[in-house]
A = this chain, B = another copy of it.
Amino acid sequence: MALIGAELKLAEPGVVEITLPYRKDLTQQNGYLHAGMVTTIADSAAGYAAYSLMPAGSEVLSVEFKLNLLRPAKGESFLARAEVIKPGKTLTVVRADVFGISETGTRELVATLQGTMFCIARDRG
């Protein structure tokens, strides 16, 4: 996350936002943000959102996610906003939307992720 310049912007119970400024070395062949980078911020936001509802001392792991790329990932910066759909003791289902943000501040939805997070509960005495 530090490597690519992503930053935690908002962290409320069940809702997390992460931002990522545009950088040329994060793009694919057409100059759009690489799908892997889109996924990196979407999955990170999703994991934190799930984690924010887990008991203290827990750890969170991604089980699986599915990402639909809706538009070319263009923008001066990018915002991943994740929201928990269904919290659970073991599994938490999360959605994350990724927006491209233009110079003038307009947001456009570029990708959406639906995924499952696993809670490793703290068991020690």
Shortest distance between the CB of A27 and any CB in chain B (Å):
10
What B residues does A64 contact at CB under 8 A? 64, 66-69, 93, 116
Q: How many copies are assembled? A: 4
- Mark contacts of A57-70 with chain B using CB atoms, 8 A cut-off: 1 yes-contact digit, 0 otherwise: 00101111111111
Within 8 A of B (CB), among A24-79: 25-26, 29-30, 34-37, 39-41, 43-44, 47, 59, 61-71
On whether A114 and B68 interact (CB within 8 A), knowing A3-B25, A59-B30, the answer reads yes
Whether A118 contacts B91 by the Cβ 8 Å rule is yes
A90 within 8 A of B: yes
Give the residue of B35, B86, B118 whose beta carbon is less than 8 angstroms from that of A43. Answer: B35
Residue numbers of A with Cβ under 8 A of B are 1-4, 25-26, 29-30, 34-37, 39-41, 43-44, 47, 59, 61-71, 85-86, 90-91, 93, 95, 109, 112, 114, 116, 118
